Amino acid sequence: IEYLSEIGMEKVRRHDVELLRYAIDTLKGIKGLQLYGPERAEERSGVVSFNLADVHPHDLATILDGEGVEIRSGHHCAQPLMEWLRVPATSRASFHVYNSYDDIDALKAGLEKAREVFRL
């Protein structure tokens, strides 16, 4: 709490929104990638959920891990939402004060690598 207070919560939120904007703009250009959630960064918390074509999120997480990119995959304790979305699971990247644009660029590069591996 002290760390965030020292930074200032308004500054933290601005940083989160800037990262989310960049992430959404960057990721929506990846062929076969489905983003979930509001398109406007201001309507999100620091999370971007997505799926890549016919790649299971657990397989995608394994590929990204090999590229040094950490995401979460699964139903995220939100099984009713997964049923509503008609997907078995999603992949999820989270961003906060300790992240930068470089992390999003690394995620994009990892997703492009996954597209190569799965021949998408």
pLDDT at 4: 86
Q: Give the model confidence (pLDDT) of 39-92 as tens digits.
A: 888 888 889 999 999 899 999 999 999 999 999 999 999 999 999 999 999 999
Active site residues: 77
**Residue 43: domain span:** 2-117
pTM of the model: 0.91
Domains held by the chain: number: 1
According to the model, what pLDDT value does residue 42 have?
86
Distance of CA 16 to the CA centre of its chain: 13
Residues 4-43: tens digit of each pLDDT: 899 999 998 999 999 999 999 999 999 999 999 988 888 8
The domain spanning residue 39 has which CATH number? 3.90.1150.10
pLDDT in tens, 99-115: 999 999 999 999 999 99
Q: What is the residue-wise DSSP string for 32-81?
A: TEEEES-SSGGG--SEEEEEETTB-HHHHHHHHHHTT---EEE-TT-HHH
- Residue 43: the pLDDT is 87
